[in-house]
Amino acid sequence: MSLASTVSETCKAARVASRQLAPKSTIEKDRALAALSGLLRTSASALLEANREDLVAAEARGVGPALLDRLALDETRIEAMARSVEEIAALPDPVGVVVEDRRRPSGLRVRRVRVPLGVVAMIYEARPNVTVEASALSIKAGDAIVLRGGSEAHRSNLALGRLVTSALRASGLPPGAVQMLESVDRDAVRLLVQQTETVDLAIPRGGEALIRFVTEHARVPVVQHFRGVCHLYLDRGADLEMAVRLAVNAKLSRPAVCNALECLLVDAGDAGRLLPKVAGALIAGGCELRGCPVTCAIAPEARPAGESDWGAEFLDRVLAVRVVDGLDGALAHVARYGSGHTEAICTPDPAVAERWRREVDAACVAVNASTRFHDGGELGLGAEIGIATSRVHWRGPMGLESLTTMKWLLDGDGQTRD
Amino acid sequence: MSLASTVSETCKAARVASRQLAPKSTIEKDRALAALSGLLRTSASALLEANREDLVAAEARGVGPALLDRLALDETRIEAMARSVEEIAALPDPVGVVVEDRRRPSGLRVRRVRVPLGVVAMIYEARPNVTVEASALSIKAGDAIVLRGGSEAHRSNLALGRLVTSALRASGLPPGAVQMLESVDRDAVRLLVQQTETVDLAIPRGGEALIRFVTEHARVPVVQHFRGVCHLYLDRGADLEMAVRLAVNAKLSRPAVCNALECLLVDAGDAGRLLPKVAGALIAGGCELRGCPVTCAIAPEARPAGESDWGAEFLDRVLAVRVVDGLDGALAHVARYGSGHTEAICTPDPAVAERWRREVDAACVAVNASTRFHDGGELGLGAEIGIATSRVHWRGPMGLESLTTMKWLLDGDGQTRD
């Protein structure tokens, strides 16, 4: 079968299964998730064997230690996957939730209810746990999903996919609701995101190159997460101890993630008080600072920033620092260089905080809190399938609700329209 | 300036204006809408003059009477536009509505609030009132909009656009928030829907060819409305008088619109009782019936249907009629031939009604009510910018809420993440 036929048939099978899965009850879906967490625990040795083959092949190709670590499974990581499936099962079912319920003057009852989205295509890299979490989230939301993981994790993903299929079959749900697109040919991704008849939404998750590739070729809607260029603005009068704590946590608690801080902005009128302590704490934490001229004058440990440092996603212990002309200067910098991910302010002034909330255009806007909270689990959504920085369909952490759409229900007793 | 530059500059200007408009208050936006309805009333003669030029040009090109009627303005239609702007001003502002508000164990407050979507591109045909209604809806939602109307209505649309710009300027809102893309070159549409940096959502509204063209070329998200192939299923035991009333209203009250009935399905076990009266009433109303063999046996006035009649959007006094094997037969027919727009049932059985609601996959599912109710005004949304049959971002009548997105707001007192 040609690659084009394989992709098209895979997506058609997902569409058929999605129709069977959509009307299933919460109990039936949760039973499949319980079966999956059980299977993960009892199949650890088979999973580790498949994963070992992936690791050997990756090492042979000279893959670096960071990627090898992301790829590797062990008993602890398998147990974590099993637990995350149980947590997803414990979440409330979004399907059937009534968003709106009103009665019209004619007596017609009008409801808007959440229903499964249909078929989701998920394109991702390395980490095998995404295979399990994306499957569990889509099953719970009543969606079918087509998974296209990274070639490095090919064998691990297939082994995990077989467990998902077994769990669906054992629970009386359509096994076709989770499809693994097995081809390692990159052209499969292009074809996958062009299946307008059968795929409702594509979610690319990985490096910027992958997301640009998907966006360029997609004919189906794409929920995007390009980059996390997060800022923290220290406003005049900011509590010094809080400013230090927020900057250090946002930058250094996990520098390689998308909600980590990449640029610190400081009010010019208060930089003399704020910057020395904040810069000192960051440097003590092993962070390199790249500052504007004023920053470098106040904190001589900073090296001069170049134009390319503004808006840069370092994903490392590097931070751009700029002294700005108050709130308006900070807003202008964020509008120009931000990526619409997470923008934080540290301020004692409620009026300034309110302008920040209103005027910053980003998926998540934080006042006196670390940028690191922008995460499905931290915000109380449970597991997330990604964070959307695009504006349409969904924005921010993508939990179960982001995998649903809606349907209007009209109930009458014979009403006709004049 | 090249066409590509014109389109790109127009969209950039809209983006700039959208940032200025987004934080404006409800009062400021409603003031601009009040100014617009006033200007429409005081500028009637200039509008009629521009419209007359469009009509003359259209007649010279041999445009048919139906299109000429859609294009024509008169005092009554101008007053209707002014009133629709007033009605939009009276709608509640979706911006700032808190969708979710919870406090996390750390004390962090997490809110999800509605914010303007940004920049909408609207591509439509003929009717000049769409220019006014789309402008008013986007202003109220805090969005900028780029309007690309049909070439027939070019002069009318420009005259209306000038009024919108004046109303914005007179009210202290950014006049660039409503942009008219003046080129009549169709390539402008292709370029418009590829402005990924500046356009957040494209809404094509018109014939299927226009929507296919936009979908094919778009690189920005598109909310689609392909076709309305609406069904009514008469279930066993259906109230005969109600069945007649629903079928006649759905088919004949306005046959040329998307929520009009295109196919009647009748339960085989009750067709002998139901079909003669229903068919008779439809024929008495001037409707041509195209029936399956069983239909033709019961209602000899029906001519035999061909395969292409199932799933056809007649938009005329023509109806396909098929006798099906109960609820399952009706569900299978709708799944195969429906367009996901509106699917209605007439049944006395609550269990059958509930299966219909759950198992039919459409934007709107009606029980014992006419398909014609699927309309923003009828469902209580006020004016609509279209009806979406696509599943992502929005589904069903697109009122103000469909022109917004969301933003997560975090409020803390110094929380950091472990």
**Chain centre to alpha carbon of residue B45:** 30
Note whether A380 contacts B102, CB cutoff 8 Å: yes
pLDDT in tens, B4-29: 999 999 999 999 999 999 999 999 99
Min CA distance, B84 vs chain A (Å)?
Answer: 19
Residue A401 class from Cβ within 10 Å (0-12 exposed, 13-18 middle, 19+ buried)? middle
pLDDT in tens, B82-141: 999 999 999 999 999 999 999 999 999 999 999 999 999 999 987 899 999 999 999 999
For tokens 């292409």, name the residue. Answer: B308
**Sign of the torsion angle spanned by Cα atoms B98, A376, A357, A277:** positive
Note whether B201 contacts A392, CB cutoff 8 Å: yes
Note whether A391 contacts B365, CB cutoff 8 Å: no
Among the partner residues B102, B373, B416, nearest to A415 by beta-carbon distance? B373
Among the partner residues A222, A368, A413, nearest to B412 by beta-carbon distance? A368
Count residue pairs from A and B with Cβ separation < 8 A. 210
For tokens 């005329």, name the residue. Answer: B316
Report angle CA B170, B171, B172 to the nearest 5 degrees: 95
Q: What is the distance between the alpha carbons of residues A330 and B380, in angstroms, rounded to a whole number? A: 42
Among the partner residues A117, A246, A365, nearest to B409 by beta-carbon distance? A365
Among the partner residues B392, B396, B412, nearest to A369 by beta-carbon distance? B412
Give the number of other Cβ atoms within 10 Å of residue B328's Cβ. Answer: 11
Note whether B393 contacts A196, CB cutoff 8 Å: no
Contacts of A412 in chain B (CB under 8 A): 366-370, 373
Among the partner residues B19, B239, B370, nearest to A415 by beta-carbon distance? B370
Interface probe for A, chosen from B15, B212, B359, B416 (most Cβ of A below 10 Å), is B416
Interface probe for A, chosen from B18, B394, B408 (most Cβ of A below 10 Å), is B408
- By DSSP bridging, strand A261-267 and strand A318-324 are parallel
Return the bridge partners of A98, or none: A113
Note whether A239 contacts B414, CB cutoff 8 Å: yes
Among the partner residues B19, B201, B395, nearest to A335 by beta-carbon distance? B19
Structure letter (DSSP) for residue B186: T
Q: How far is CA B9 from CA B124, B155, B175, in A?
A: 21, 22, 15
Return the bridge partners of A101, or none: A111
Q: How far is CA B253 from CA B127, B319, B367, in A?
A: 21, 13, 19
Hey, what are B173's tokens?
Answer: 């809102």
Contacts of A222 in chain B (CB under 8 A): 221
For tokens 């998308």, name the residue. Answer: A258
* pLDDT on residue A183: 77
Hey, what are B81's tokens?
Answer: 């536009």
Q: Which residue of B lies nearest to A415 if distances are taken between CA atoms?
A: B369
Where do runs of H (alpha helix) occur along B184-257? 187-192, 208-217, 240-252
**Sign of the torsion angle spanned by Cα atoms B172, B178, B183, B188:** positive
Q: What is the distance between the alpha carbons of residues B262 and B371, in angstroms, rounded to a whole number? A: 10
Note whether A417 contacts B108, CB cutoff 8 Å: no
What is the band of B397 on the pLDDT scale with cuts at 50, 70, 90? very high
Note whether A406 contacts B414, CB cutoff 8 Å: no
- Residue pair A413/A107 in contact (Cβ under 8 Å)? The answer is yes
Note whether B414 contacts A372, CB cutoff 8 Å: no
Give the number of other Cβ atoms within 10 Å of residue A70's Cβ. Answer: 16
Note whether A415 contacts B118, CB cutoff 8 Å: no
* pLDDT on residue B143: 98
SS3 A95: coil
Residue B65's identity, in one-letter code, is P
Residue B221's identity, in one-letter code, is P
What is the band of B368 on the pLDDT scale with cuts at 50, 70, 90? very high
Establish whether this prediction's ipTM goes over 0.85. Answer: yes
Note whether A416 contacts B19, CB cutoff 8 Å: no
Closest among A196, A183, A200 to A144, alpha carbons compared? A200
Cβ neighbors of A397 (< 8 A, separation 6 or more) are A374, A375, A376, A379, A381, A384, A387, B408
Give the sheet arrangement for strand A98-103, strand by strand: A98-103, A109-116, A404-415, B364-369, B342-346, B230-234, B261-267, B318-324, B288-291, B303-304
Contacts of B409 in chain A (CB under 8 A): 357, 364-367
Q: Which residue of A lies nearest to B221 if distances are taken between CA atoms?
A: A221
pTM over 0.90: yes
Q: What is the distance between the alpha carbons of residues A12 and A18, in angstroms, rounded to a whole number? A: 10
* pLDDT on residue B127: 87
b/e code B377-390 from CB counts within 10 Å (16+ = b): ebbebbbbbbbbbb
Q: What is the distance between the alpha carbons of residues B243 and B294, in angstroms, rounded to a whole number? A: 19
What is the band of B225 on the pLDDT scale with cuts at 50, 70, 90? confident
Among the partner residues B118, B335, B364, nearest to A410 by beta-carbon distance? B364
Q: What is the DSSP string of A273-308?
A: HHHHHHHHHHHHTT-EEEE-HHHHHH-TTSEEPPGG
Note whether B361 contacts A393, CB cutoff 8 Å: no
Structure letter (DSSP) for residue B222: B
Cβ neighbors of B310 (< 8 A, separation 6 or more) are B263, B320, B322, B333, B336, B337
Q: How far is CA B115 from CA A31, A398, B143, B194, in A?
A: 38, 18, 9, 23
Contacts of A107 in chain B (CB under 8 A): none
Q: Where in B172-317 does DSSP place strands (E)?
A: 178-180, 201-205, 230-234, 261-267, 288-291, 303-304
The answer on pLDDT for B394 being more than 90 is yes
Length of chain B as a residue count: 418
Closest among A342, A346, A392, A391 to A371, alpha carbons compared? A342
Mean pLDDT, each 10-residue run in order, chain A (418 residues): 94 96 96 98 97 96 89 96 96 96 96 98 90 97 96 94 98 97 87 95 89 90 88 98 98 95 98 98 98 97 97 96 98 96 98 96 97 94 90 94 97 96
For tokens 């998200």, name the residue. Answer: B221
Note whether A373 contacts B22, CB cutoff 8 Å: no
Min CA distance, B347 vs chain A (Å)?
Answer: 10
Note whether A396 contacts B373, CB cutoff 8 Å: no
Q: What is the distance between the alpha carbons of residues A247 and A253, in angstroms, rounded to a whole number? A: 10
Q: Which residue of A lies nearest to B202 if distances are taken between CA atoms?
A: A392
Min CA distance, B53 vs chain A (Å)?
Answer: 35
Note whether B367 contacts A410, CB cutoff 8 Å: yes
- By DSSP bridging, strand A178-180 and strand A201-205 are unpaired
The answer on pLDDT for B184 being more than 80 is no
Contacts of B26 in chain A (CB under 8 A): none
For tokens 């993903």, name the residue. Answer: A157
Q: What's the rounded mean pLDDT across residues B350-371? A: 97
**Chain centre to alpha carbon of residue A390:** 11
Q: Which residue of A lies nearest to B409 if distances are taken between CA atoms?
A: A365
Contacts of B221 in chain A (CB under 8 A): 221-222, 390, 392-393
Contacts of B214 in chain A (CB under 8 A): none
Among the partner residues A239, A372, A391, nearest to B405 by beta-carbon distance? A391
Note whether B364 contacts A408, CB cutoff 8 Å: yes
More confident residue, B208 or B73: B73
Q: What is the distance between the alpha carbons of residues B104 and B111, in angstroms, rounded to a whole number? A: 11
Residue B217 class from Cβ within 10 Å (0-12 exposed, 13-18 middle, 19+ buried)? middle
Min CA distance, B151 vs chain A (Å)?
Answer: 27
Q: What is the DSSP string of B138-160?
A: HHHTT-EEEEE--GGGHHHHHHH
Contacts of A201 in chain B (CB under 8 A): 391-392
Q: What is the distance between the alpha carbons of residues B410 and A366, in angstroms, rounded to a whole number? A: 4
More confident residue, B220 or B206: B220
Contacts of B366 in chain A (CB under 8 A): 409-412
Contacts of B117 in chain A (CB under 8 A): 391-392
Hey, what are A73's tokens?
Answer: 């499974």
Interface probe for B, chosen from A341, A415, A418 (most Cβ of B below 10 Å), is A415
Among the partner residues B102, B249, B407, nearest to A395 by beta-carbon distance? B407
- Residue pair B416/B410 in contact (Cβ under 8 Å)? The answer is no
Q: What is the DSSP string of A212-276?
A: HHHHHH-SS-B-------EEEEE-TT--HHHHHHHHHHHHHSSTTSTTSEEEEEEETTTHHHHHH
Q: What is the distance between the alpha carbons of residues B47 and A71, in angstroms, rounded to a whole number? A: 66
Min CA distance, A239 vs chain B (Å)?
Answer: 9
Among the partner residues B110, B216, B246, nearest to A414 by beta-carbon distance? B246
Q: What is the distance between the alpha carbons of residues B333 and B356, in angstroms, rounded to a whole number? A: 13
* pLDDT on residue A186: 86
Give the number of other Cβ atoms within 10 Å of residue A238's Cβ. Answer: 26
Residue A317's identity, in one-letter code, is R
Interface probe for B, chosen from A212, A409, A413, A418 (most Cβ of B below 10 Å), is A409
- Residue pair B178/B145 in contact (Cβ under 8 Å)? The answer is yes
Q: Which residue of B lies nearest to A224 if distances are taken between CA atoms?
A: B221
